[in-house]
Amino acid sequence: MNQPPIKKTNNTFKADAKSSPRKTKKPSHFNVKKAAHKTFVPKKVLPKAMQKIVLFNKPFDVLSQFTDEGNADSIRETLKDYITIPNIYAAGRLDRDSEGLLVLTNDGQLQADITQPGKKTEKTYWVQVEGAPKEIDLDKLRQGVKLKDGMTMPAKVKIMDNPDIWERYPPIRERANIPTTWLSITISEGRNRQVRRMTANIGFPTLRLIRYSIGEWTIKGLDNGTFKVL
């Protein structure tokens, strides 16, 4: 697939919508086989001059990898539909049905610092849940909840105002007469679909999930579907 032209403004890039291939069909669910996720660990830390770090605001329904391996005829969008920089890989994953910050790099040590639980790199998520949790409910997340793969570490959780963000396509499905609430949840773990499982555990299913920050990096000023090089 030919790459769309890239526009650059103040070191921020986005694919030209007019030139981008239109997707005419989207899968109806996310129960698909996960493609292999390429990782790497160099023998030594890269010099700063050779280090590449890219921040990408991933849209909903985009795979957090450059190829859709094992699905030759797939029309699912991947990172290559948005990013043309070679030899960089995502430091950690962001589920296809989640949005927000993805850090890409060619530095294996940086990748390890972001993804390994022992490094305790904090990641903050903006989470829209169904219902109106009270502080007594959120205290469970602050203390840690028991999931199938064990207890979670204490999370930082607070109710937040509705964020000024982009519209999602397709929009979330809301049920009549049932309110929704936005939470800011900060964790230093990275289990599979952890935040979604945490909110479901206390009775408030996640409707929309946006990763706002990883460590000191955030999506502030970064439009959805665009990236910037640090």
State the DSSP string of 91-124. Answer: SS---TT-EEEEEEES-HHHHHHHH-GGG---EE
Does residue 22 lie within any of the structural domains?
no
> Whole-angstrom Cα distance, residue 223 to residue 82?
12
The pLDDT value given to residue 6: 43
**Count of domains in the chain?**
2
The pLDDT value given to residue 46: 67
The verdict on 57 and 137 lying in the same domain is no
| Cβ(180)–Cβ(131) below 8 Å | yes
Does residue 25 lie within any of the structural domains?
no
The verdict on 11 and 76 lying in the same domain is yes
The pLDDT value given to residue 81: 94
Please give the helix or strand (H or E) that residue 16 lies within, else none. none
What is the domain-level CATH number for residue 206? 3.30.70.1560
The verdict on 228 and 204 lying in the same domain is no
The verdict on 5 and 105 lying in the same domain is yes
Does residue 164 lie within any of the structural domains?
yes
The verdict on 104 and 127 lying in the same domain is no
The pLDDT value given to residue 103: 97
What is the domain-level CATH number for residue 7? 3.30.70.580
The verdict on 192 and 160 lying in the same domain is yes
The pLDDT value given to residue 198: 98
The pLDDT value given to residue 11: 58
Residues forming the active site: 95
Does residue 37 lie within any of the structural domains?
yes
The verdict on 4 and 74 lying in the same domain is yes
> Whole-angstrom Cα distance, residue 81 to residue 123?
25
Q: Mean pLDDT, 10 residues at a time, over the chain (230 residues)?
A: 46 52 42 43 60 96 88 82 93 94 94 84 97 98 97 98 95 90 96 96 98 97 96
| Cβ(13)–Cβ(6) below 8 Å | yes
The verdict on 186 and 129 lying in the same domain is yes
The verdict on 194 and 143 lying in the same domain is yes
Domain that holds residue 72: 1-16+33-119+216-230
At CB < 8 A and 24+ separation, what contacts does 38-42 make?
38/65, 38/89, 39/89, 39/108, 39/111, 40/89, 40/108, 40/111, 41/108, 41/109, 41/111, 41/112, 42/107, 42/108, 42/109
Does residue 186 lie within any of the structural domains?
yes
